[in-house]
Amino acid sequence: MFIVESYTVAIIMCFITMICWGSWANTTKLVSNKNWAFPLFYWDYSIGLLLCSLLFAFTLGSMGESGRSFIVDIQQADTGSLFAALLAGVIFNISNILLVASINLAGMAVAFPVGVGLALALGVITTYIGNPQGDAQILFLGVACIVVAIILTAIAYGRVTQESDKSRRNKGLITAILAGIIMGWFFRFLAASMSDNFSEPVTGLLTPYSALVLFALGLFLSNFVFNTLVMKKPITGEAVSGKMYFSGSFRDHICGGIGGVIWCVGLGFSLIASGQAGYAISYGLGQGATMIAVIWGVFIWREFAHAPAGTNKLIFTMFVSYIVGIGLIIAANQ
């Protein structure tokens, strides 16, 4: 299987993860049918993610002589490793459904800093506890900067929303917070399923490629429970039926599938890079995606276009806090 041998290459891959994770949600805004409910979009998202994970497994995960090929790795894995990777997919799925709902309620520039930023803070902490790697003081100082950015984002959002939107604003923020708390735990279980040494993987544990497929499978299968529930009891919008899925246009379905592929590429690169960068740092740097999402939300989708004077300073300070936090997370492993 393909293994990264350079820390510099690993960091570059983490930056690609950041771009992918910060950009995939744009596909929710590109569907041709503006009444296309996010649970319908999410079915295609989960299918795209699963297919992309299999592509990783049968290409990069099965080439070369190092490590274990995908099929061999799955056959030797113990029950605990398989369950941990599947559980990671289930946990992420719950949180991501909440995140997409929050995007619909509050916009990308708010949902990502609050939801994903909170997930970053919790994820780095829980992952570091399970696999301590890097300078703890620098790493957690970086996390503290991310938390400051989350608070600044919430303040900026409160300034831009009208009083009449207060209920929707509060619902969007609460949904993003719940998404972040739940999302902060998925990477811990995914990391626990994998061997630290990719060249000579521990017997019973998984390689990154196998873990990615099990994760995607857990997400897809749990969709039949959680996404079906959201279809009947939506967080936002009207309830939708399964038959409505087949009324979508080719573009509607493609947008969802591409969204899943983009996110999967991000996770795949993060897992592959973790051999050199460490789990806490590869995950923490990848979650700098929040900064990318805010750029999309502020400059492309104009979500703060009608903000009162002084809001831009808050947004600028938030950017600086994120950049400093990401820099510290990278430096923690030097």
pLDDT mean for each 10 residues of the chain (334 residues):
90 91 87 83 96 97 90 96 97 92 77 80 77 82 84 74 63 88 90 92 96 98 95 86 91 95 96 86 76 79 73 85 82 70
DSSP secondary-structure letter at 202?
A: P
Helix, strand or coil, per DSSP, at residue 194: strand
What CA–CA distance (Å, rounded) separates 255 from 106? 21
Q: Classify residue 71: in a domain, yes or no.
A: yes
| pLDDT score for 165 | 65
Name the DSSP class of 207. Answer: P
- The answer to whether residue 297 is domain-embedded is yes
**1 part of a folded domain:** no
Amino acid present at 118: L
Per the domain annotation, does 278 fall within a domain? yes
Does residue 118 fall inside a structural domain?
A: yes
CA distances from 98 to 174, 303, 307, 328, 330 (A): 10, 20, 25, 29, 29
The answer to whether residue 116 sits within a structural domain is yes
Query: From residue 131, how far is each of 106, 179, 239 by CA, in Å?
Result: 35, 24, 42
Number of domains in the chain: 1
Domain extent, residue 100, equals: 7-331
Question: Looking at the domain assignment, is residue 2 inside a domain?
Answer: no
Q: Are 50 and 216 in contact (CB under 8 A)?
A: yes
pLDDT value at residue 211: 97
Closest CA to 115 of 46, 186, 172: 172
Number of residues that this document lists for the chain: 334
CA gap 61, 214 in Å, rounded: 13
